Structure 1
Amino acid sequence: MDTNTPALRFRPATDDDVDALVALVTSAYRGDASRAGWTTEADLLDGERIDAGVLRGDIARARSQVVLAEHAGRLLACAHVADDDGRGYFGMFAVDPRQQGGGIGRALLAECERIARERWGLATMRMTVIDARDELIAWYERRGYRRTGEHSPFPYGDTLFGIPRRDDLRFEYLEKAL
């Protein structure tokens, strides 16, 4: 971790955290607030980034954990890790835009990998990333993820994933051996 990275406390989210999580994820990816960091999708998508009902389901599901990274009681980052048919799933990754670039995301990703490997005995972590996000994919590659060459279409018309600003979006699968 970067020497300037605050000491983080990781904990599982509860239903009481849902409103703060929706606000954090939205601030990291949508609208002008997201432009303070480098993970913004504001040029690609409008609308909501996370649905509170889906989030509650992820919190309640077996072999699924929404992990919070906090410092001094303040929520700085979150991610969802789960067992998806025998492989780790990583998603809903968000770091407060004002805190990005200091190692918080790297530490949270490592914690999620640890949970999948040690708690659930999973050998692989998998995720999807919008393939137009070259800088983000490169960040994951520096952490050992590889592009699988597998893609899935962006769910145009399903506002649960946002409102596309482009017609060429699709997801790419990234994977890492744990």
Structure 2
Amino acid sequence: MSGLLDALAVTAVVGLVITRQFRASRIDTGRRRWVLPLALAVVALREPGMIDAHHQTAAVLLLAAEMIVGLVTGVGWAWTTRIWVEADGGVWSRGTRASVAVWGVGIALRVGLYGVGAALGVRQDSSALLLALAATLLVRSGILAWRVQAARPSGAPGAAYRDAVTRPAWKEPA
């Protein structure tokens, strides 16, 4: 992808993710939660210039640092997300103020890594950022799925054959 398309893709994904995290949303532990991170990883890994050929060691170290920041951001985001179980057994989530702080620190660290790379003369591609964002989303999804299993009482609705079924409210005879 061109630099402009990369920037637009990253901005769109980050914008979508950040705005969605502060609305209450039902957690889907199925395969759908894994689609976006995997698609981002595939797009990032298809780009040929992730590692600068002239500064390989520095580029690999920067990529490793970027991945660590992405993973830690995902862990922090998952643990600062509020989850709750509704009466019908559906599990919901919503970001908190601490989630904003996690995102702020993660973005600041990424900007700092970009600055270090620029100071070292390392050509940096947005594919590393896409890969780190994929790691962030993947780790968050995994931890939230684990937290959902711990939050949902055994025997609670939510098994695959009952996901879309809601129980009618009991009404007292008139």
Q: Same fold (TM over 0.5)?
A: no
Greater helix proportion: 2
Give the structure with higher Rg (CA): 2
> Which structure ranks higher in relative contact order (CA pairs < 8 Å, sequence separation ≥ 6)?
2
Smaller-chain TM-score bracket: under 0.3
